């Protein structure tokens, strides 16, 4: 009976290692981690390269992750946030968080959020905002604006023909810029961890 292919399990171990160490381990380290011989570790790396999960470094002396290395499974059915519903729970198409959140990498920056002024909009202290620079901002957009040489994240609104910055927490005042209001970028996504 042939040995079942467990490459997906081995790939998961390499992904965990990469998350902790920010590099693909050596063949010897893979052998130690997974309980392989060094030759079997080399064959695993070759199979993962063929599948498009890793690639050789330009000088050929190591391995680097390719885009597929960062794929995560996404369930084929959505889960309700209201009444319970039956879902299949199986993995659907591969999902790349970066591809989902970022449409224009050269103009996108990730900005940590500090403070509670946008909490009623679901933006919390410790979240990471995905900000697209150079995107035209309109009334109702959440923006990072520069007011009096200070940065702030607020909703862009208009009052008596002038742009204002509206918080989403009644404990904070509306910002009515006295001088120039500059838009640093528009919020296009948000990342949050619930446990550390």
Q: Which residues are catalytic?
A: 117, 154
The region, left, alpha or beta by phi > 0 then psi within -120 to 50, assigned to residue 134 is left
Q: What length does the chain have?
A: 196
How far is it, in rounded angstroms, from Cα 187 to Cα 141? 7
- Give me the residue label for tokens 């008596």: 160
How far is it, in rounded angstroms, from Cα 54 to Cα 57? 9
Q: Which residues pair with 64 in a beta bridge?
A: 55
CA distances from 60 to 55, 65, 85 (A): 9, 14, 50
- Listing DSSP states for 59-81 in one string gives TSSSEEE-GGGG-EEEESSPPPS
């Amino acid at each position: 009976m042939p040995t079942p292919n467990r490459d997906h399990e081995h790939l998961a171990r390499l992904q965990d290692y990469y998350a902790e160490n920010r590099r693909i381990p050596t063949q010897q380290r893979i052998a130690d981690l997974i309980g392989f011989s060094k030759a079997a570790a080399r064959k695993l790396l070759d199979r993962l390269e063929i599948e498009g999960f890793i690639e050789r470094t330009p000088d050929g002396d190591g391995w680097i992750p390719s885009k597929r290395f960062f794929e995560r499974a996404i369930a084929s059915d959505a889960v309700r946030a209201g009444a319970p519903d039956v879902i299949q729970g199986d993995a659907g198409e591969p999902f790349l968080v970066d591809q989902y959140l970022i449409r224009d990498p050269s103009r996108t920056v990730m900005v940590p959020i500090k403070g509670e002024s946008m909490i009623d909009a679901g933006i919390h202290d410790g979240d990471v905002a995905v900000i697209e620079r150079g995107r035209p901002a309109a009334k109702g957009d959440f923006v990072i604006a520069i007011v009096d040489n200070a940065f702030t994240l607020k909703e862009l609104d208009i009052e008596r023909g002038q742009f204002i910055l509206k918080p989403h927490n009644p404990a904070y005042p509306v910002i009515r810029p006295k001088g120039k209001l500059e838009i640093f970028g528009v919020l296009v996504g948000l990342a949050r961890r619930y446990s550390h």
